[in-house]
Amino acid sequence: MHSDNTPSSLAANNTDSLRKELLGISQHQQRQELHSELNATAQDLVAIPAQLSHLVLLSERQWIDQERKLLSELCEHYNIALPNCHENEFTVNLDELQLKWERHTEYSTYTIYQTGSFETPFDNPPIRRLPHKWLARLPGEILVATHIALDDRSRPKRSLSELAQLFSSNTVIGSKVAGGSASVWSDNQIHEDGFGRILIHDENLRSRQIGRLVQRLLEIETYRMLAMLPLPITRQMIPQLARAEHLLATLIADSANLTSIEDEQLLLDEITKLAAQIERLSAQTGHRFNASRAYYGIVKLRITELREERIEGLQMLQEFMFQRLSSAMGTCELVFSKLEILSMRLARGSALLRTRVDISMEAQIRDLLKSMDNRAHVQLRLQETVEGLSVVVLSYYLLGLIGYGLKAIKATGYMINVELITGIAIPIVVVAVFFTVRGFRRMVNKQHQKNDSCGH
């Protein structure tokens, strides 16, 4: 495979131009990077015949420095200068091989090309020429491993018996692609070496068409696997969601028989716990489901771009992919939809039960206020009784003071009848004390009413 200037080298060559103004206007600092991204896969040229091996390794973004370090070591092994390795992709020639590395959000790809004629495809793939110890140190887990062999147009098409032998007697699928300019065969199986196999026969492909065709086939292989990543966890979630639905239905049915606020609060706690479990499942799978939708959309787009035409007696790639992949994606969509619906039902059930608890608590508060009001009335009656007794007590002590005063006057020599005057003073004192206490009570009540009106 031959390559024009890669986006990385283009970005490096135009660093100075990015710092300059264009027509007196400053340029966006990421203009060149974004523009190069559009041409990231459009400049590859493939010389036929050729073979390639493609690896897709799932790994966290944090491993990118380790990947760059390993690529640097590989270049040192072949005694060549390391290309610009600060970008997310680069291509390097390693003797008769060409290695292309790309770093994506959640995975990295390694594609090894080797041009030259071959008699039997897949017998000696180019990845075998790389150091085994170096390959074993690559970070991540293999999700996709594919060999692609490209036959020259000068070679006669391989017969069905040859295809059956190449694909280990598995069911072969294939079609004409690119408007009939090439034929593609595969069996969509993992063979003994751990790789899948795709055979392309050039009939009338232009050089850039070959690169685009290879890129589309590799993207179909990659994105269909990425799209299916949620399938195992989806199958595990199906019985969990069924149990959660049954439990929710039971809890909602039990809510009709509750008689106390304590039982309602216990049931609300159970529903809240169930809602937390569903939200945890949603948080764990939501990102994966959304990514799967996006990958599935890319797969459908790339298959459409192949422009397939039927080869008599063979199932087309589009038919195979949509038949198998759509079923898996349908299962994922069904579970995701169930998860969302169950979450909504839990929210509604929780809201209804919380409303019921609030109403019960309001009834309890109303009863408490009513009890407090009755207690206040009783206290008022007691207070009025106490006020009557207080009038008698105050009058008794006041009359005692009057009596002591009259006795003191009599002791000075005045002839007065202490008992007579004290007896005459009794009604006067009682009436005076009664009206004095009553006046104080009215004054306090007016002040209380005034404070209440200010508070409202």
**3-class DSSP state of 306:** coil
Both 268 and 160 in one domain: the answer is no
Instruction: State the total domains in the chain.
Output: 2
Phi, psi of 174 (to 5 degrees): 180, 170
Both 206 and 238 in one domain: the answer is no
CB 303 within 8 A of CB 317: yes
Please, what is the average pLDDT of the chain? 83
Both 150 and 127 in one domain: the answer is yes
**291 is a domain residue:** yes
Paired strand residues for 332: none
Give me the pLDDT at residue 418, please.
77
Q: Is the model's pLDDT at 310 over the cut of 90?
A: yes
pLDDT digits (tens, 9 = 90+) for 275-305: 888 888 888 888 888 999 999 999 999 999 9
Both 270 and 309 in one domain: the answer is yes
Which of 173, 198, 223 represents a domain boundary (last residue)?
223
Which of 180, 201, 223 represents a domain boundary (last residue)?
223
Both 256 and 118 in one domain: the answer is no
**3-class DSSP state of 430:** helix
Q: Report long-range pairs for 157-166 (Cβ below 8 Å, ≥24 apart).
A: 157/183, 157/201, 158/199, 158/201, 163/199, 166/120, 166/121, 166/122, 166/197, 166/199
Alpha-carbon gap, residue 51 to 112, rounded angstroms: 8
pLDDT digits (tens, 9 = 90+) for 405-434: 888 888 887 888 878 888 888 888 888 888
Q: Is the model's pLDDT at 6 over the cut of 50?
A: no
Both 118 and 139 in one domain: the answer is yes
Both 184 and 59 in one domain: the answer is yes
CB 344 within 8 A of CB 201: no
CB 43 within 8 A of CB 10: no
**17 is a domain residue:** no
**439 is a domain residue:** no
Alpha-carbon gap, residue 381 to 385, rounded angstroms: 6
pLDDT digits (tens, 9 = 90+) for 130-181: 999 999 999 999 999 999 999 998 888 888 888 989 998 888 999 999 989 9
Percent above pLDDT 90 for the chain: 28
State the DSSP string of 43-66. Answer: SEE-PSSEEEEEEEEE--GGGHHH
Both 213 and 235 in one domain: the answer is no
The token pair at 383 is 């207070």
**433 is a domain residue:** no
Q: What pTM was estimated for this model as a whole? A: 0.70
Both 236 and 212 in one domain: the answer is no
Both 217 and 96 in one domain: the answer is yes
The token pair at 32 is 């060149």
Both 239 and 214 in one domain: the answer is no
Least Cα distance to 178 among 146, 204, 155 occurs for 204
Both 137 and 242 in one domain: the answer is no
Q: Is the model's pLDDT at 359 over the cut of 70?
A: yes
Phi, psi of 50 (to 5 degrees): -160, 160
Instruction: Read off the pLDDT of each residue in 116-126 and give the average, rounded to a whole number.
Output: 90
**125 is a domain residue:** yes
- Where in the sequence is the domain holding 150, given as residue range(s)? 44-223
Q: Is the model's pLDDT at 401 over the cut of 70?
A: yes
**453 is a domain residue:** no
Of 147-161, 349-363, 440-454, minimum mean pLDDT range:
440-454
Which of 341, 367, 393 represents a domain boundary (last residue)?
367
Alpha-carbon gap, residue 137 to 67, rounded angstroms: 9
Instruction: Read off the pLDDT of each residue in 388-412 and give the average, rounded to a whole number.
Output: 81
Please give the span between the terminal C-alpha atoms of the chain, in angstroms, as a whole number. Answer: 86
